[in-house]
Structure 1
Amino acid sequence: MSAETLVLSELERDALTEIVNIGVSRAASSLRKMIGEQVLLSVPSIEVVSQRRAARLISEREVSELVAVRQDFSGSFSGRALLIFPETNSLELVRAVTGGELSVQEVLDLEQEALAETGNIILNSCLATIANMLKRSLVMTIPEVVRGSGGSLFDAEHDGAEGLVLFLYIDFAVRSRDIRGYIAMILDLPSMAALKDLLGEFIARVVGEDF
């Protein structure tokens, strides 16, 4: 089994994008209840790339250090989920989530906790929705906030083992602030194959056997 054989078809990618968008809309609803303001979240595109390519993609787009909320998941397919923000965006997100009335020091003091909570809501909603719609269940670890470059977030984690990354761009708007970020799910090849099979089953259920 090679990475090349595990590229998602256009239909599979469309199905996964639709599922993830349902997940992030649920996350937006949960965040809206938490902060009492309208939250808009969308995932306009998904790419499946190697870990090295994912690191390069994010490094090309972001010059500042990155902040990520990381959770491992296991079940019918296993891997690691990351919600990634450029460092400047992460502070902007904390300001938005905490009401925008804190001093710089207070924002810095709260950053870790607020990011972990926000990441937990978004990643849990995404993964729970994927699992539910694929009729499977996943177990997730407690969120952890990590910092580093694209290379350290994507490469060092898996000791050089070959894996694929579902790389999702997210648009995030809260309290009139535009905040960009990324969701990445790192999967080894057997887990990617399992996800591809489950997407095929999902499409067959939704569209019919002759899709």
Structure 2
Amino acid sequence: MSGSSGFLDELEVDALTELVNIGVSRAASSLRQMVQRQVFLSVPSIEVISRRDAATLMAEREIGPLVAVRQEFTGAFAGRALLIFPEANSLALVRAVTGDELSEAEAADLEDEALAETGNVVLNNCLATMANMLQRPLEMSLPGVMRDPGPALFEIDAGEDDGVVLFLYINFAVTERDIRGYIAILMDLPSLDALKTLVGEFIQRVLGQGAAAEA
């Protein structure tokens, strides 16, 4: 994916992509420690699009029902973070992170709990890394699982239509299973403006460090 529909410029998108990739790398490390198995997470790129475009994109990519882990966050910028899987992949993820030691029925019983914990690890690492590198704290809510949420997936507040989505396509690989999914970070326009300001400050710090290193 590329482009940012006018919400962010190319340098801002590159900086955010770098921040998110660091966060996802840390999430993979945390998941490896949790499940004691090899875990790979990759984020090819990010895109900043409207909520309506995000819903359209998801409908085009995924025909079947979806499962999402949701966490709200507040701070210098605020919104909702989602880890989204096709429902067909969610049980495969649970079986992978539990080491295939559960029967199908047992895995189904623990599915929401395991999904919430996995989502918590991935989303917390992504957002905590962003917050740390942008030098601003964020508070995260407890995770909740949404099943087949349909159009409600990308809603921020009823009646609002000015929200944006930082949309990431990710690949999970756990014990040689490939499990595709998505990370979506929903924000309103004031929060996006706040994020743009912080990303700009981050870029200036990086450029300043680069200039100092060359001096």
Common fold: TM-score over 0.5? yes
| 2-structure distance, mates of 1:85, 1:160 | 26
Whether 2:123 is the aligned partner of 1:123: answer yes
How far has the Cα of 1:208 moved from its partner? 3.0
| 2-structure distance, mates of 1:197, 1:115 | 33
**2:85–2:180 contact (8 Å) kept in structure 1:** yes
Q: Which runs of 5+ in 2 are unaligned?
A: none
Deviation sequence 1:62-118 (CA, Å, 0-9, x none): 111110000000000000000000001111100100112322111110100000000
Percent identity between matched residues is: 66
**1:96–1:175 contact (8 Å) kept in structure 2:** yes
Moved over 6 A (4+): none
- Normalised by the length of structure 1, the TM-score is 0.94
How far has the Cα of 1:135 moved from its partner? 0.3
Amino acid in the other structure paired with 2:204: A
Q: Which runs of 5+ in 1 are unaligned?
A: none
- CA 1:19/1:198 → structure 2, altered by over 3 Å: closer, same or farther? same
- CA 1:81/1:204 → structure 2, altered by over 3 Å: closer, same or farther? same
Q: How does 1:103-122 map to 2 (within 5 A)?
A: 103-122=103-122
SS at match of 2:167: strand
| 1-structure distance, mates of 2:130, 2:183 | 14
Amino acid in the other structure paired with 1:29: S
| 1-structure distance, mates of 2:195, 2:53 | 20
Amino acid in the other structure paired with 1:160: G
Whether 2:37 is the aligned partner of 1:32: answer no
SS at match of 1:8: coil
- CA 1:179/1:209 → structure 2, altered by over 3 Å: closer, same or farther? same
- CA 1:5/1:44 → structure 2, altered by over 3 Å: closer, same or farther? closer
**2:24–2:125 contact (8 Å) kept in structure 1:** yes
How far has the Cα of 1:210 moved from its partner? 11
| 2-structure distance, mates of 1:201, 1:6 | 20
- CA 1:98/1:5 → structure 2, altered by over 3 Å: closer, same or farther? closer
How far has the Cα of 1:6 moved from its partner? 6.1
**1:58–1:150 contact (8 Å) kept in structure 2:** no
Q: How does 1:2-13 map to 2 (within 5 A)?
A: 7-13=7-13
| 2-structure distance, mates of 1:27, 1:209 | 26
Q: How does 1:66-77 map to 2 (within 5 A)?
A: 66-77=66-77
Deviation sequence 1:32-56 (CA, Å, 0-9, x none): 0111111111111111111111111
- Alpha-carbon RMSD across the aligned residues, in angstroms, is 1.8
> Partner residue of 1:101?
101
SS at match of 1:208: helix
How far has the Cα of 1:194 moved from its partner? 0.4
**2:5–2:49 contact (8 Å) kept in structure 1:** no
Whether 2:92 is the aligned partner of 1:85: answer no
> Partner residue of 2:148?
148
Q: Aligned residue pairs: how many?
A: 207
